[in-house]
Amino acid sequence: MEWIDRFAGLSKLETRLRDTLVSKSQIVTLPRNTTLFGPGKSPENLLLLLDGVVRVQQVTEGGREIVLYRVHAGESCVLTTACLLAYEDYAAEGIAETEVKAVAIPRVVFDDLVAGSKAFRNFVFSAYSRRITELFHVIEEIAFQKIDIRLAHKLVELAGPDLKLSATHAQLAAELGTAREVISRQLQEFQRRGWVATARGAVTLTDMTALQALSETG
């Protein structure tokens, strides 16, 4: 199966456009912790992820990181799409959380297909609209939802089958768009209740039922 068939919207392209897209794109593999893009840089390609995870984050003037979203296999990066469409530079950075395998579609091919193919435009803008909706949800959570509920939800989401996650207080703060001190205080409270056990760079969930119950109150 060709990579293009892994993306439902692209599989609808007519044969001539499919062939153009496949022949003029390149499959790239990037190691973990690679910076794919950063503020002030102009996108040269639209990346479609085949394998791996990319974390897109904003760094404030004070140096605090805020995770905006993650791009998973079968998805594209909405920030790259926006910058390609507007001919603007990036305002955030994308980091490979794992080894990443992706298809790189050059800007000129992207421009031609957006201009000439309704099916490709639908693929681009449907992915764009889904991600924008998710971003509004993130903003709503940061603005209105209590930090204890958000932290409980994030711990449940990130914990592995062994109910452990490797993350510093600063990393959890970046996930939730808050300060490290806020996360530290809340984890201390969760530990006092017997819900978690913390160690350097790690958290173990000791009462998953209580954490899930709290996370669902929002």
Per-residue pLDDT tens digits for 165-213: 998 898 898 888 788 888 998 999 999 999 999 988 899 999 999 999 9
Question: E strand or H helix at 29, and its extent?
Answer: strand 26-30
Residue 2 has pLDDT above 90, yes or no: no
Tokens of 165: 């996650």
Per-residue pLDDT tens digits for 105-135: 999 999 999 998 999 999 999 888 888 887 7
Tokens of 180: 């490290």
Side chain identity, residue 8: A
Choose among 53, 102, 110, 108: nearest CA to 81: 110
Per-residue pLDDT tens digits for 27-70: 999 999 999 999 989 999 999 999 999 999 887 776 777 888 88
Tokens of 191: 């530990």
The verdict on pTM exceeding 0.85 is no
CA 47, distance to chain mean position in Å, is 13
